[in-house]
Amino acid sequence: MSISTTADTIKTQLRTFVKDKLLFGNDPTPELLAIVSVYVVRGILNLARLAVSFFLKDELGLTPAEVSALTGLAVLPWVIKPLFGFLSDGFPIFGYRRRPYLILSGFLGTASWLALATFVNHAWTAAIAIIMSSASIAISDVIVDSQVVERAREESLANAGSLQSLSWGASAFGGLITAYFSGWLLEIFAPKMVFAITAVFPLVFSAVAWLIGETPVQKRDRAEVFANVKGQMQQLWQAITQKQILLPTVFIFLWQATPSSDSALFFFMTNELGFEPEFLGRVRLVSSFASLTGVWIFQRFLKTISFRQVLGWSTVISAVLGMSVLLLVTHTNRALGINDYWFSLGDNLILNVIGEIAFMPVLVLSARLCPPGIEATLFALLMSIFNLGGFLSHELGGLLTHFVGVTENNFDRLWLLVIFTNFSTLLPLPLIYFVPATDPRETQSKTI
């Protein structure tokens, strides 16, 4: 065998390995690189998550309930994702519907983090800047979602979710490579400096925009644009009111809207247990690794199992295992000989694996529910409904935190908050049969 033949064989084997093992069966194209890059940066932007929490807690002096309410506002741009989809589809910039919006999202993200790094010193200006940074990611997400959903519809059921798994795995990887540094940087710099460092990364959105495959569309007059938008809205209404789409959407919304105790637990770990930012960075590192593991487990073992079964059982398991936090908040772990640090690391590892396994069927199901022609817009609407549930989760969590009397210095009833929030995740389960047991595309094909 000649050297050139051997080299060609090695190249072919390497290309096959990259496609099948690293890219979950997706062809390595420039557009795929752009999609993966956006998701990786989305994970990297978690670099500032701890800095935001400490900034709100220490520099602005907010309470746990106030932090929960304010951070919930960051979900609002994700609630109006369909609006970004309409703007992208109906109002091209220089004839392009994708690239310019991706470029603008990068500049918006950089501007918001620079604002946090400089002149933001009040809760209301912090809220505006946080909403802007979230809008940056939401807009970029709309653009790449349109590409993901179009590809997802072409997949067989055996390969269903491969691109979603790759995308969310890329996001988890981005979070993984910056998780530890999110805490370590806070040991060296003030939160505002971390915001300044974070401001660099959204520019990647602008850089990879040129890799999106797109041909310019013909210029249309305003009447034609509004007629097109009206037509899309009618199609959207017809789609979302179909029983096979509406019922799973109702369940997903209720499942996501249950109250959260995350902000109260953050205050407990920093004020009561004395966890330093560097250790919280380790916890986030473990959490990111766990999320990546959860994506792999779903892709490897669960992607062909009924959406209903995976979502139902993972919800029950998450609720049961979530009660383990009671051992930490009541200091029972110490009586068992497990120190706070090791218990927190192990608990986050397990809960994040299960949480990611529960989340993946929602993404795949949402993509499979979308009928041809309005894939991107309907998927954005489904995700916005899901994110509206997330917004309510933060706000209800803040109200519940205030109601049970948990403050920045009083954690006597935190155990009650943990029980309420974990038990509430089980409340939507009687409606689990709203989630289809089989591939929804089969049902759609029978009704067409």
* Residue written as token pair 């557009």: 31
Structure tokens at 147: 């590409």
How confident is the model at residue 375, as a pLDDT?
66
How confident is the model at residue 118, as a pLDDT?
95
How confident is the model at residue 20, as a pLDDT?
44
pTM of the full structure: 0.80
Of 279 and 4, the structure prediction assigns the larger pLDDT to: 279
Whether the predicted pLDDT of 93 surpasses 90: no
Predicted confidence band of residue 108 (pLDDT cuts 50, 70, 90): very high
Question: For the chain, which residues make up each domain, given as ranges?
Answer: 25-213+221-447
pLDDT cut 90: percent of the chain above it: 41
Lowest mean pLDDT among 23-32, 64-73, 300-309: 23-32
Give the CA angle between residues 57, 425, 388 to the nearest 5°. 65
How confident is the model at residue 7, as a pLDDT?
44
Predicted confidence band of residue 130 (pLDDT cuts 50, 70, 90): very high
Contacting residues for 222 by C-beta, under 8 A, at least 6 apart: none
- Distance, in Å, from the CA atom of 413 to the CA atom of 25, rounded to the nearest integer, reads 49
Query: What confidence tens digit (pLDDT) does each residue in 162-198 have?
Result: 666 777 678 878 888 888 899 999 999 999 999 999 9
The average pLDDT across 428-441 equals: 82
CA 56 to chain centre: 22
Highest mean pLDDT among 6-15, 107-116, 181-190, 430-439: 107-116
Contacting residues for 346 by C-beta, under 8 A, at least 6 apart: none
- Distance, in Å, from the CA atom of 156 to the CA atom of 19, rounded to the nearest integer, reads 17
How confident is the model at residue 310, as a pLDDT?
87
Of 5 and 300, the structure prediction assigns the larger pLDDT to: 300
How confident is the model at residue 28, as a pLDDT?
66
Contacting residues for 103 by C-beta, under 8 A, at least 6 apart: 205, 206, 209
Lowest mean pLDDT among 121-135, 140-154, 316-330: 140-154
On average, the pLDDT of the chain sits at 83
Lowest mean pLDDT among 78-92, 116-130, 202-216: 78-92
Identify the CATH assignment for 25-213+221-447 out of 3.20.20.10, 1.20.1250.20, 3.90.110.10, 3.30.980.10: 1.20.1250.20
The average pLDDT across 204-216 equals: 83
The average pLDDT across 69-95 equals: 83
How confident is the model at residue 413, as a pLDDT?
94
- Distance, in Å, from the CA atom of 378 to the CA atom of 372, rounded to the nearest integer, reads 10
Whether the predicted pLDDT of 382 surpasses 50: yes
Secondary structure of the chain in the HEC alphabet? CCHHHHHHHHHHHHHHHHHHHHCCCCCCCHHHHHHHHHHHHHHHHHHHHHHHHHHHHHHCCCCHHHHHHHHHHHHHHHHCHHHHHHHHHHCCECCECCHHHHHHHHHHHHHHHHHHHCCCCCHHHHHHHHHHHHHHHHHHHHHHHHHHHHHHCCCCHHHCCHHHHHHHHHHHHHHHHHHHHHHHHHHHCCHHHHHHHHCCCCHHHHHHHHHCCCCCCCCCCHHHHHHHHHHHHHHHHHHHCCHHHHHHHHHHHHHHCCCCCHHHHHHHHHHHCCCCHHHHHHHHHHHHHHHHHHHHHHHHHHCCCCHHHHHHHHHHHHHHHHCCHHHHHCCHHHHCCCCHHHHHHHHHHHHHHHHHHHHHHHHHHHHHHCCCCCHHHHHHHHHHHHHHHHHHHHHHHHHHHHHHCCCCCCCCCHHHHHHHHHHHCCCCHHHHHHCCCCCHHHHHHHHC
Nearest residue to 69 via CA among 264, 299, 208: 264
Whether the predicted pLDDT of 356 surpasses 90: no
Whether the predicted pLDDT of 202 surpasses 90: yes
Whether the predicted pLDDT of 104 surpasses 90: yes
How confident is the model at residue 154, as a pLDDT?
55
Nearest residue to 31 via CA among 166, 139, 203, 201: 166
Lowest mean pLDDT among 12-16, 26-30, 205-209, 319-323: 12-16
Query: What confidence tens digit (pLDDT) does each residue in 364-377 have?
Result: 787 777 776 666 67
Whether the predicted pLDDT of 223 surpasses 90: no
